[in-house]
Structure 1
């Protein structure tokens, strides 16, 4: 099996991570490599925003504002971005193009996100891509400083892999359910 096939076949999401996180110097080469994802028109219609420290708390506050919650439910929701020391917000940053529609630019941004997740895992970090109903909420857009033509795709929660992590169990797909051919 090739190294790439093995990395993809063994990929898993880590819903719980330790407080360790890669520094910016470690992220730079990984992001540069992830930028090699397919990108029709070479538009690079994406950007990544680091959230560390108090920025994660600001995101939690934006979640609460978007949900209109109070009390214990608000406290629980506000704590969600604190589950990892590093969150990487994945932004589709669409540009004008007569050739590449918005959906295709979003797909390119998602490709960068997937590559980055694989690269972080290969570097020894636990990663989970989180999304949810608040991804497109206005208070969440504001806390990220999104411009017109930008959409938040979600966040990579990144941290150390706990020693007590159990192997992921993911059932293999029946390829016949997902792969077909056009009749000749």
Structure 2
């Protein structure tokens, strides 16, 4: 991700409640997939045996924040992509019936207007905010959350935890 420091708690506070709840659910899923109970137990046992004084809970939490953020970006990207397709397909369908535009509440949907390009533009801004074109391309290649988890384990997870993780 780019050089700007993102504080996850600040981000979460700014999100609407439904999205925040979704993120928290993704974070739990991510944590369980990377640091299952047996893996955490092995990490802590080895740390005690080797008299490691580092703050493992904080380090594991930090790893989970990074993995959860990656998962959230993937899910948000998927949502925006699907929304973009749905809006454009719906507009095309209405046009085939001779209807140029339609409204939902006060929002008008019409080919070429701001709403027509909303999800596409948000997706571009999301990709730009990541600041790493290779990572963006990788995220776009994922079709399922387990691919995000596998990528994280293999490419981003701190080396000291990799020996405990199943690939």
Range class of TM-score, shorter chain: under 0.3
TM-score (structure 1 length as normaliser)? 0.21
- Structure 1 or 2: more helix by fraction: 2
Rg larger for: 2
- Structure 1 or 2: more strand by fraction: 1
